[in-house]
Amino acid sequence: ARPAVAWIGLGIMGSPMSENLIKAGYSVTGFTLEQDKLDRLAAAGGTAATSIAEAVKDADVIVTMVPASPHVEAIAYGPDGILENAKSGALLVDMSSITPQTSVDLAKAAKDKGIRVLDAPVSGGEAGAVEAVLSIMVGGEQADFDAAKPLLDALGKTIVLCGPHGSGQTVKAANQLIVAVNIQACAEAVVFLEKSGVDLKAALDVLNGGLAGSTVLTRKKDNFLNRDFKPGFRIDLHHKDMGIVTDAARNVGAALPVGAVVAQLVASLRTQGDGGLDHSALLRAVERLSGA
Ligand code: NAD
């Protein structure tokens, strides 16, 4: 029989991911803060719980997909949290993007309760979640990775154990650095092309066929063309991730000269009230700098 799954955090990513598990035949009991998301889980064939404790008490595997380190700490620790209420022997797969140190600390605290942990953040965005083609970067023990692999196969396509606890988060931090710099480069090109009077759609199509092509350009082309900044991946979350990669890189003495500038531009979008927009809204920062 497939393991019983508890899913905590049914947001933009967690909802479609948990539904993919249900489609693959898993029984999923979920908990999240929004009632409409709990209703959506029930409509998809899952079970809506009224607390974390209720969701996790009979689970063999617990998946968490919440915004940031403080949320993971809030749901893991404390009397109502995962560690107090999960069965000994359960496997906790945290798919949130958080600091590597939070993942290391969580694995250590869980071990005392007989709970095994993997950090397993993802890349591929909402579309990757819906289509079950995410890249999943995992940190932890080989045996736990092997145990989780069939379940992860129902969520993603490229699933790699990167090293010990925290390694998945370190790789995800690098992912976010690359994505932000790539979006920024595309945004600068878009403003340059428009100010030059070139047909933007034609330009982006031909650029995407050459060395300038990228997943970012493919996925975000319509956002740029239509100035459609509905998230997707919110600026607030990318701001969090630029903080993670900046700190982690400083800790190991790696320079991020371009990443640091892009981190500032992401931060400036938040102070201008654009934190809830998709990260393709970096275009707005370039437009403001260009007087557009
Ligand atoms: P989201 O804000 O849409 O969803 C987060 C969910 O967590 C919400 O449903 C909220 O109810 C739940 N939550 C928060 N605190 C909780 C608590 N105490 N108890 C129970 N539930 C709680 O965020 P998202 O876009 O789904 O992102 C989730 C994580 O995945 C983030 O770490 C993000 O960086 C990462 N991520 C997002 C994307 C994307 O494209 N959106 C892509 C890759 C990775």
The secondary structure of residue 13, as a DSSP letter, is T
Q: Which of 113, 157, 172, 221 is catalytic?
A: 172
User: How far apart are the CA of 57 and the centre of ligand 1, in A?
Assistant: 22
CA distance linking residue 178 with residue 206, whole number of Å: 22
Domain 5-163 fold = Rossmann fold (3.40.50)
Four-residue CA torsion sign, 204, 206, 208, 211: negative
Across the strands, what pairs with 118? Answer: 93
Tell me, yes or no, if the two domains 5-163 and 170-289 fold the same way: no
Identify the residue whose C-alpha is closest to ligand 1 atom 11.
33
Can you tell me the mean pLDDT for 119-138?
Answer: 97
Tell me if residue 94 falls in helix, strand or coil.
strand
> Is 108 labeled as catalytic in the residue annotation?
no
User: How far apart are the CA of 271 and the centre of ligand 1, in A?
Assistant: 21
pLDDT, one tens digit per residue, over 238-254 is 999 999 999 999 999 99
CATH number of 170-289: 1.10.1040.10
pLDDT at position 169 is 98
For residue 37, how many C-alpha atoms fall within 13 Å in the half-sphere facing its CB? 19
User: How far apart are the CA of 173 and the centre of ligand 1, in A?
Assistant: 16
pLDDT, one tens digit per residue, over 185-222 is 999 999 999 999 999 999 999 999 999 999 999 999 99
Ligand 1: residue of 66, 183, 280 to mutate (most ligand atoms within 8 A of CB) is 66
Task: Identify which of 60, 67, 120, 53 has the alpha carbon closest to the alpha carbon of residue 88.
Answer: 60
Ligand 1: residue of 39, 135, 237 to mutate (most ligand atoms within 8 A of CB) is 237
pLDDT at position 1 is 82
User: What atom in ligand 1 is closest to the CA of residue 68?
Assistant: 32
Residue 54 has pLDDT above 90, yes or no: yes
Residue 84 has pLDDT above 90, yes or no: yes
pLDDT at position 284 is 98
CA distance linking residue 83 with residue 280, whole number of Å: 37
Q: Average pLDDT of the chain?
A: 98
Can you tell me the mean pLDDT for 12-35?
Answer: 98
Residue 22 has pLDDT above 90, yes or no: yes
Which two structure tokens, joined as six digits, stand for 204? 């982006």
pLDDT at position 227 is 97
- Domain residue limits, the chain: 5-163, 170-289
pTM assigned to the model: 0.97
pLDDT at position 292 is 80
